[in-house]
Structure 1
């Protein structure tokens, strides 16, 4: 029973959360990249709902005034920036639907296992003249058996940038240095620099970190 604002008892129908992947408590298995999980929220009374998406008890997305019958996609699993905030290992997802009177939880578990990453600048660095050389410094921890590749381009604004593989990579336990002279000398849309760093764990399974990327272009 629910007591309304005038003090009278009434029967409230709690919200409901359903998903094609299964009932509440479903195990989603191992995930190594963002994935799509769709669900539908309904309220028998037609009340607008507040939907909260939580992972391990932390709210990563909140939607307000959601109408009954709305189909949604879990933001923290499908959006790259939010998925990156979830740690490797066993995780619990909770979808909470609240109509202001009662709330309903739908849960699922999944194991995140990401062992590699590809990094680039969101926006290339533009230049007024030809970019002929570039040098990068990477700081972090670099296990001996990790794989590390670096590609650079000096025409990042072009429709098809000329990515050049860097063979001069000097690596230590906490730093890696890259120096490269560009073979490409043309840029249809103006010279602009970007990098593409690909790192992955080796057979040992030992993880590393990348805490800073800095450098110069000339």
Structure 2
């Protein structure tokens, strides 16, 4: 009997059918080495090109507050604006303006130069300021010369300048302002006796800058007028 080598699929029906039908799986294809090398080389190159085409990193910003990059502020312009803003709507004495600039850390030499210039053009005038201050405080608040002098001194007005402005106050106007104050205050003191009224009214005038002699004289006169008015009112009622 002719002995032949047994096929590989012997004993396996599935392999035998596939062999009979001629179904043999092709061997796996192997890419040429040159192609693999070109792909291997080109792949990282393409990756590098993609990275190079990416967005450029954001430029570094200079840190805030860097004195080398920030422009120096114009101190003179700042000082001028401070002065103009402070003078808007209300007159100010030179001392008030100087204190404002010092608070804003404006150098003394620059502040002096600007205040001198503002005086030259009439924007700073202590004489005019003193007169305007007296005109508003004397009739409105009923302040006497002594109280007004203290206020002007606190505003930095020179004593000589203040004295000249205070000398323009009419003594009659000063006494009339005191009388108006006493009459207003008397309305709230009706339940007190004359001694208590006198003490409180004189104390009020003293705080307004009136001397003791002037204050007592005005209070005495106003209390006498008030008593006459009360007496006249009672008499008219009895006549009815």
Q: TM range, normalised to the smaller chain?
A: under 0.3
Task: Report which structure shows greater RCO (CA 8 Å, sep ≥6).
Answer: 1
Structure (1 or 2) with the greater helix fraction: 2
**What is the TM-score when the length of structure 2 is the normalising length?**
0.25
Structure (1 or 2) with the greater strand fraction: 1
**What is the TM-score when the length of structure 1 is the normalising length?**
0.27
Q: Which has the larger radius of gyration?
A: 2
